[in-house]
Copies of this chain bind each other. A is one copy, B any other.
Amino acid sequence: MSFVLKEADPQLQAAVAHTRQVVAQLHAELPRWGLVVWTAGNVSERVPGADLFVIKPSGVSYDELSPDVMVVCDLEGHKVTDGTPEWLTPSSDTAAHAYVYRHMPEVGGIVHTHSTYATAWAARGEEIPCVLTMMGDEFGGPIPVGPFALIGDDSIGRGIVETLKNSRSRAVLMKNHGPFTVGRDGRDAVKAAAMCEEVARTIHIAREGGDLAPIAQHHIDSLWDRYQNVYGQHEE
């Protein structure tokens, strides 16, 4: 906690203020898409041009998530001194977010939820097979499972990073726990969380009714290539 934000240059302070606003707004997307119950979910976003990120406070309800109560952390996951009240502590998942930001410099946003269907696959420790064109677009193949891990050290963060490094997917199902998603920024990670839940739900339901129709690997590759290379930022 050596960093004191109030003594930083105005440009960084503006960047932090903007990121606080973005992260507060993105939390409203979680209940909107049915991804959270009570306070069980969090979004973070890296502050551009700084080794900092902004994350949800612990134990604050979704009705009260204004920019003011968001917590600024360094990449070790420690709250930086910035004038907010002491009782505003970062989400208990902060260490996992920090680990990912330290080890995946391309990641600008992270989301963690216990969304129902994705968590159901996680409760079996089973990856989600890629049998939908929209899943080929978004995830480029199966959504993989990460190891069982407890809060308390680096094991959740390490499990996320090691699993994502071996996959095109920007979602990982932590075993017996729930999904973590990453993205270019917070909004992109929230989109991944919404799409992860949707493919988890659709493919669960599909398989209840009988055998899934596979998609050939070269078709999955085509879907992924087009979506990454041709359409770029386009979302659909």
Contact = CB atoms under 8 A, between A and B. Distances in A.
A170 interface: no
A148 interface: yes
Given A125-B213, A176-B215, A236-B59, A205 B120 contact: yes
A14 interface: no
Given A37-B194, A150-B223, A206-B124, A92 B215 contact: no
Contact of A211 (B124, B131, B203, B207): B124
Interface string A203-226: 111111111110100010011001
Contact of A202 (B123, B150, B226, B231): B123
Interface stretch (A3-11, A45-53, A111-119): A111-119
B148 A119 contact: no
A23 to B, nearest CB: 15
A163 interface: no
A176 B233 contact: no
A125 B233 CA distance: 30
B132 A119 contact: yes
Contacts of A132: 114, 119, 123, 176-178
A20 interface: no
Copy tally for this chain in the complex stands at: 4
Among A89, A212, A235, chain B packs the most CB atoms within 10 A around the CB of: A235
Contacts of A126: 209-210
A194 B117 CA distance: 17
A120 B198 CA distance: 11
B215 A58 contact: no
Contacts of A223: 150
Given A176-B215, A177-B133, A123 B39 contact: no
A40 B134 contact: yes
A204 B195 contact: no
Interface of A: 33, 37-40, 42, 58-59, 89, 91-93, 114, 116-117, 119-121, 123-126, 131-134, 148, 150-152, 175-178, 191, 194-195, 197-198, 201-213, 215, 219, 222-223, 226, 231, 233-236
Given A40-B134, A40-B198, A148-B213, 7 more contacts: A40-B236, A116-B205, A121-B209, A124-B210, A133-B178, A134-B178, A208-B208
